[in-house]
């Protein structure tokens, strides 16, 4: 079995990609602006909830319960969904899911499909598989459309085009929609997307969606959105195919009362997002008359097997950890080389790929804990990052220098005398690299540290030395 | 090699140790110490609901004495509209004289060409300004409240609950039929986080509170 996450297996090391991206001032500006806006909105609407911590706790406990009994709940979902007229398929990995979906679309003799934002479909590279089979996928979420038409990659799990500004989006739309003219006002850009997609919503007979929640008890699927493109996709076409990661299961309809409070506030800073669609199988005379669910493993059961990292699967994809992360805010999402960026991506991507690839991602963090603090299902991301770093070290893949550095640090910090001598040695050793009190490029394997940050040089005089001198001079 | 289904379930059991015993008791013991039931009186609840709708940019009409028809006429005049689509079972008493109302049934393209739609709702949640639409036969099918650019929705005071858990409690009763929750007009912030109202769903939402 081979699992992959988008093109992450071929992505450059985080440190390498980040080095280029932090120098792109336009992207940095766009990312900092967008994350700043969402953070402020989120803080306001979370602040007004007196029971926020209790909701986080329940959200966490429900998910942990599901993970312990995932076999039961998947089976229950399959039975309920089937009884309501849906058909459930199981896919061990990305290739299997792609071949199931391509087969279903071909069976309808469809040449086009409309899609509502599903990161999971990016994970399995569904669009490429569809195109290879002669089927044209149309992304309908505004940000996804910007990414697709711009032949770009998503950089955020909730707002995938947040690295683009209005001028760039205008250029993409002008080129790809064949428009004679277009302003760069967001209202006009959104209106252009409305016109471009409306015709497709009314005409294309097959839609592909993801799922925010799949309810075991009822067999219902819930899609959370803002623009109405989700409603269009799940209710207008004749055929609907929903791609659902096996971790998206919740036990009961009632459990929505937790997540429909925490998800919108965390994701977009809204008390409630404009639209939620909840449907169960097929309904005569309303909506799709053919409904398929594809349940996807693609490495999730490996995450499940690691008790210390299992709660990675609790994620409800709100993106709050990306917005809160000081590293993400500097680099943007593309540095992570995965459809899942930011702190959650740094733990999810390497695990789904069996740690064979993306081994630098667990190091894409300063372990400051901001991600854990904002997580609406209390995933302890810093702890899992450390756990995964240990795994990298255990596999013997950690840089030799890192192991040496840890040993050296232990020796240096053992006694004040050792530290004093090390400092003197350091001043001599750093002289070729330090400039104006800053080291911006370390030699050899140490460049991983300076790839994304500057290192203050050891000063000419330490505090200890300054203090001694001052005491002496004061006599 | 067995089926994908068997293999995935087998992997899960290997990962979890196949712990299926005590599942129901374990689920029942999940702590739910968040607020389930509201604390506001009826007037406070409605005031909160209206405040939330204002926040989303929906216009609210307060119907007097359950006179829905007069408010429908007022809303249509304010928007300069002469006709609306209505679902099959919408009460005739809600429809004022002097306007055209078409019972549903037309194709998507005809719905697209309409001036707007008038529907009822099933539940409304004050704390989040959420309106819950239920799409059973006779009530508006999903396309009807989605494709037109204008949605006028009637909410009765008795349908308004305060908290999300109270709303979900009501929705459980019709969980098997399609449900749409709406909280304001369709919107996006995908371009520089600037809120744009009206993308694919109705760009204008007016609410009659009766």
DSSP A425: H
Nearest residue to A261 via CA among A30, A14, A48: A48
Which SS3 state, helix, strand or coil, does residue A26 take? helix
Q: Is residue A315 part of a domain?
A: no
Q: Do B186 and A142 touch (CB under 8 A)?
A: no
Could you tell me if A325 and A416 lie in one domain? no
Q: What is the pLDDT of residue A442?
A: 64
Name the pTM for this structure: 0.89
Final residue in a domain of this structure, among A356, A372, A394: A394
For residue B113, the tally of other CB atoms under 10 A from its CB is 11
B187's enclosing H/E stretch is strand B187-188
Nearest residue to A207 via CA among A116, A294, A283: A116
Could you tell me if A100 and A131 lie in one domain? yes
Could you tell me if A345 and A297 lie in one domain? no
Low-confidence ranges of chain A (pLDDT < 70): 1, 355-356, 397-416, 425-434, 436-456, 475
Q: What is the pLDDT of residue B64?
A: 85
Q: Do B191 and A186 touch (CB under 8 A)?
A: yes
Q: Is residue A306 part of a domain?
A: no
Could you tell me if A340 and A461 lie in one domain? no
Q: What's the order of all strands across the beta sheet hosting A112-115?
A: A87-91, A290-296, A239-245, A206-209, A112-115, A136-139
Could you tell me if A184 and A146 lie in one domain? yes
In the A/B pair of chains, how many CB contacts fall below 8 A?
Answer: 253
Give the separation between CA A24 and CA A168, rounded to whole angstroms.
14
Q: What is the pLDDT of residue A445?
A: 53
Q: Is residue A310 part of a domain?
A: no
Could you tell me if A359 and A284 lie in one domain? no
Long-range pairs for A170-175: beta carbons < 8 A, 24 or more residues apart: A172/A146, A173/A149, A175/A149
DSSP output for B100-148? EEEES---HHHHHTSS-EEE--SEEEGGGTEEEEE--TTSPPTTTTTSS
Residues B74-116: tens digit of each pLDDT: 999 999 999 999 998 999 999 999 999 998 767 898 899 999 9
A392's enclosing H/E stretch is helix A381-394
Residue B92 backbone class (left: φ over 0; alpha: ψ -120 to 50; beta: rest): alpha
Beta bridge partners of B102: B85
Final residue in a domain of this structure, among A301, A335, A360: A301
Instruction: Please give the residue range of the domain that contains residue A413.
Output: 404-474
Q: Do B5 and A202 touch (CB under 8 A)?
A: no
A207's enclosing H/E stretch is strand A206-209
Q: What is the pLDDT of residue A135?
A: 98
Q: What is the pLDDT of residue A460?
A: 75
Q: What is the pLDDT of residue A409?
A: 61
Q: What is the pLDDT of residue A399?
A: 58
Query: For position A236, which CATH number holds?
Result: 3.40.50.10420
| Chain A partners within 8 Å of B54 (Cβ) | none
Could you tell me if A294 and A443 lie in one domain? no
Q: Do A190 and B26 touch (CB under 8 A)?
A: no
Q: Is residue A120 part of a domain?
A: yes
Q: Is residue A313 part of a domain?
A: no
Q: Is residue A162 part of a domain?
A: yes
Residues B120-177: tens digit of each pLDDT: 999 999 999 999 999 987 788 999 999 999 999 999 999 999 999 999 999 999 999 9
Q: Which residues contact A323 (CB under 8 A, 6 or more apart)?
A: A35, A38, A39, A42, A329, A374
Final residue in a domain of this structure, among A271, A301, A331: A301
Which SS3 state, helix, strand or coil, does residue A223 take? strand
B-contacting residues of A 130-169, CB under 8 Å? Answer: 140-143, 146, 159, 161-162, 164-166, 169
Give the separation between CA A163 and CA A143, rounded to whole angstroms.
10
Could you tell me if A288 and A428 lie in one domain? no
DSSP output for A344-374? HHHHHHHHHTTTSS-TTGGGS-----HHHHH
Q: Which residues contact B75 (CB under 8 A, 6 or more apart)?
A: B59, B61, B152, B206, B208
First CA to last CA distance, chain B: 62
Looking from the CA of A460 toward its CB, the CA atoms found within 13 Å total 3
Could you tell me if A56 and A104 lie in one domain? yes
Q: Do B178 and A194 touch (CB under 8 A)?
A: no
Q: What is the pLDDT of residue A20?
A: 85
Q: Do A190 and B188 touch (CB under 8 A)?
A: yes
| Chain A partners within 8 Å of B189 (Cβ) | 37, 159, 226, 268
Q: What is the pLDDT of residue A276?
A: 98
Residues A344-395: tens digit of each pLDDT: 999 999 999 876 678 889 999 999 999 999 999 999 999 999 999 998 888 7
Q: Are B112 and B86 in contact (CB under 8 A)?
A: no
Q: Is residue A30 part of a domain?
A: yes
Buried b / exposed e across A24-45, counting CB within 10 Å, b at 16+?
eeebbebbeebbebbbebbeeb
Strand runs labelled E in A108-205: 112-115, 136-139
Residues in chain B: 210
Q: What is the pLDDT of residue A191?
A: 94
| Chain A partners within 8 Å of B147 (Cβ) | 202, 236
Report the residue from A190, A279, A283 with minimal CB separation from B199: A190
Domain count, chain A: 3
Q: Are A221 and A130 in contact (CB under 8 A)?
A: no
Q: Are B154 and B171 in contact (CB under 8 A)?
A: no
Q: Do A159 and B18 touch (CB under 8 A)?
A: no
Q: Which residues contact A377 (CB under 8 A, 6 or more apart)?
A: A56, A59, A60, A63, A262, A311, A314, A315, A316
Distance from CA of B98 to the nearest CA of A (A): 31
Could you tell me if A375 and A456 lie in one domain? no
Which SS3 state, helix, strand or coil, does residue B73 take? helix
Report the residue from A71, A187, A273 with minimal CB separation from B9: A71
A92 and B CB contact within 8 Å: yes
Could you tell me if A17 and A38 lie in one domain? yes
Which whole-number Å values give the CA distances from A45 to A39, A52, A212, B126, in the listed order?
10, 10, 21, 15
Residues B12-69: tens digit of each pLDDT: 999 999 766 899 999 999 999 999 999 999 999 999 999 999 998 999 999 987 799 9
Q: What is the pLDDT of residue A397?
A: 65
Q: What is the pLDDT of residue A44?
A: 97
Could you tell me if A76 and A202 lie in one domain? yes
| Residue of chain A whose alpha carbon sits nearest to that of B30 | A61
| Chain B partners within 8 Å of A165 (Cβ) | 192
């Amino acid at each position: 079995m081979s699992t992959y996450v988008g093109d992450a297996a071929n992505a450059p090391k985080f440190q390498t990609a980040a080095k280029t991206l932090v120098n792109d001032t336009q992207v940095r500006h766009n990312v900092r602006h967008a994350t700043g806006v969402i953070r402020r909105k989120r803080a306001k609407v979370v602040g007004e909830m007196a029971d926020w911590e209790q909701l986080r706790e329940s959200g966490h406990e429900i998910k942990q319960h599901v993970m312990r009994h995932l076999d039961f709940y998947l089976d229950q979902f399959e039975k309920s969904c089937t009884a309501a007229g849906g058909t459930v398929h199981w896919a061990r990995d990305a290739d299997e899911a792609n071949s199931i979906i391509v087969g279903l679309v071909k069976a309808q003799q469809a040449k086009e499909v409309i899609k509502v934002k599903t990161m999971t479909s990016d994970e399995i590279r569904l669009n490429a598989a569809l195109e290879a089979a002669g089927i044209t996928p149309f992304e309908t979420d505004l940000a996804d459309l910007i990414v697709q038409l711009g032949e770009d990659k998503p950089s955020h799990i909730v707002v995938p085009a947040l690295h683009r500004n209005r001028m760039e989006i205008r250029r993409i739309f002008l080129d790809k929609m064949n428009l004679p003219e277009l302003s760069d006002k967001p209202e006009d850009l959104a209106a252009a997307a409305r016109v471009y997609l409306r015709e497709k919503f009314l005409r294309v007979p097959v839609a592909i969606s993801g799922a925010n929640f799949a309810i075991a008890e009822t067999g219902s699927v819930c899609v959370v959105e803002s623009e109405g493109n989700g409603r269009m996709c799940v209710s207008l076409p004749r055929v609907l195919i929903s791609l659902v990661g096996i971790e998206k299961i919740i036990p009961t309809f009632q459990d929505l009362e937790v997540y429909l409070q925490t998800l919108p506030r965390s994701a977009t800073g809204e008390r409630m997002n404009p639209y939620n669609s909840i449907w169960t199988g097929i309904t005569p005379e309303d909506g799709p008359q053919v409904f398929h669910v594809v349940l996807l493993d693609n490495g999730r059961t490996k995450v499940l097997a690691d008790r210390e990292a299992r709660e990675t699967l609790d994620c409800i994809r709100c993106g709050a950890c990306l917005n809160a992360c000081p590293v993400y805010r500097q680099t943007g999402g593309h540095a992570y080389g995965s459809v899942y960026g930011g702190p959650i991506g740094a733990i999810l991507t390497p695990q789904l790929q069996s740690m064979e690839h993306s081994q630098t991602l667990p190091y894409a963090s300063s372990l400051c804990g901001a991600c854990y603090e904002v997580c609406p299902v209390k995933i302890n991301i810093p702890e899992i990052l450390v756990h995964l770093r240990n795994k990298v070290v255990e596999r013997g893949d950690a840089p030799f220098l890192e192991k040496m550095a840890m040993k050296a640090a232990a020796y240096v910090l053992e006694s004040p005398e050792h530290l004093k001598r090390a400092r003197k040695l350091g001043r001599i050793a750093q002289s070729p690299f330090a400039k104006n009190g800053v080291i911006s490029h370390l030699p050899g394997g140490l460049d991983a540290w300076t790839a994304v940050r500057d290192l203050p040089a050891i000063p000419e005089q330490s505090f200890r030395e300054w203090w001694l001198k001052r005491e002496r001079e004061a006599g | 090699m067995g089926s994908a289904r068997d293999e995935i379930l087998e992997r899960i059991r290997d990962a979890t140790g196949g712990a299926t015993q005590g599942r129901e008791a374990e689920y029942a013991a999940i702590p739910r110490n968040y607020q389930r039931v509201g604390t506001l009186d009826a007037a406070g609840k409605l005031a909160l609901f209206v405040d939330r709708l204002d926040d989303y940019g929906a216009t609210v009409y307060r119907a007097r004495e359950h006179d829905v028809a007069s408010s429908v006429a007022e809303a249509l005049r304010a928007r300069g509209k002469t006709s609306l689509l209505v679902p099959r079972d919408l009460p005739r008493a809600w429809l004022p004289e002097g306007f055209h109302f078409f019972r549903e049934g037309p194709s998507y393209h005809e719905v697209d060409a309409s001036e707007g739609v008038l529907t009822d709702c099933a539940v409304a949640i004050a704390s989040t300004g959420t309106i819950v639409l239920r799409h059973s036969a006779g009530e508006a099918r999903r396309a009807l409240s989605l494709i037109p650019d204008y949605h006028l929705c009637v909410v009765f005071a008795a349908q308004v609950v305060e908290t999300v858990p109270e709303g979900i409690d009501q929705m459980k009763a019709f969980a098997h039929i399609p449900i749409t929750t709406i909280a304001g007009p369709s919107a996006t912030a995908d371009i520089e986080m600037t809120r744009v109202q009206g993308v694919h769903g109705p760009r204008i939402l007016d609410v009659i509170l009766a």
